[in-house]
Amino acid sequence: MQNLITKYNVAGPRYTSYPTVPYWGDESFSYNRWLSTVRDSAILQKPISLYIHLPFCESLCTFCACNKRITKRHLVEQPYIKALLKELDLYTNIYGFKLTVKDIHLGGGTPTFFSPENLAKLLQGILERTFIAEDAAFSFEGHPNNTTYEHLKVLNDYHFNRVSYGIQDYNETVQKAINRIQSFDNVKYVTDTARKVGYTSVGHDLIYGLPFQTVDHILNTIDKTIELRPDRIAFYSYAHTPWIKGNGQRGFKDSDLPNAETKRLQYELGKKMLEDNGYQEIGMDHFALAQDELSIARQNKTLHRNFMGYTTQQTHHLIGLGVSSISDAWFGFAQNEKQLEDYYERLKENKIPVFRGHILTTKDLEIRQHILNLMTKFETDLSETNLNVKTLQQIHHNLQTFINDDLIEINNQKIKVYDKSKAFIRNICMAFDLRLLRKQPDTRLFSMTI
Binding residue ranges: 51, 57, 61, 63-65, 108-110, 141, 168, 180, 205, 239, 326
Burial of 276 (0-12, 13-18, 19+ CB in 10 A): exposed
The residues near 12 (Cβ < 8 Å, ≥ 6 apart) are 426, 427, 430, 436, 446, 447, 448, 449
Residue 231 and residue 261 in contact, taking contact as beta carbons nearer than 8 Å: no
Distance CA 83, CA 122 (A): 10
CA atoms within 13 A on the CB side of 269: 18
Burial of 333 (0-12, 13-18, 19+ CB in 10 A): buried
Instruction: Say what angle helices 77-95 and 116-129 make with each other, to 10 degrees.
Output: 10
DSSP line for 172-235? HHHHHHHT----HHHHHHHHHHHHHHT-SEEEEEEEES-TT--HHHHHHHHHHHHHH--SEEEE
C-alpha angle 317/319/320, rounded to 5°? 140
CA 7 to chain CA centroid, nearest Å: 26
Burial of 176 (0-12, 13-18, 19+ CB in 10 A): middle
Q: Residues annotated in the binding site for S-adenosyl-L-methionine, as ranges?
A: 51, 63-65, 108-110, 141, 168, 180, 205, 239, 326
Residue 377 and residue 370 in contact, taking contact as beta carbons nearer than 8 Å: no
Residue 258 and residue 230 in contact, taking contact as beta carbons nearer than 8 Å: no
Distance CA 381, CA 75 (A): 53
Distance CA 82, CA 386 (A): 45
Q: Of all helices (H) and strands (E), which one includes residue 436?
A: helix 434-438
Q: Residues annotated in the binding site for [4Fe-4S] cluster, as ranges?
A: 57, 61, 64
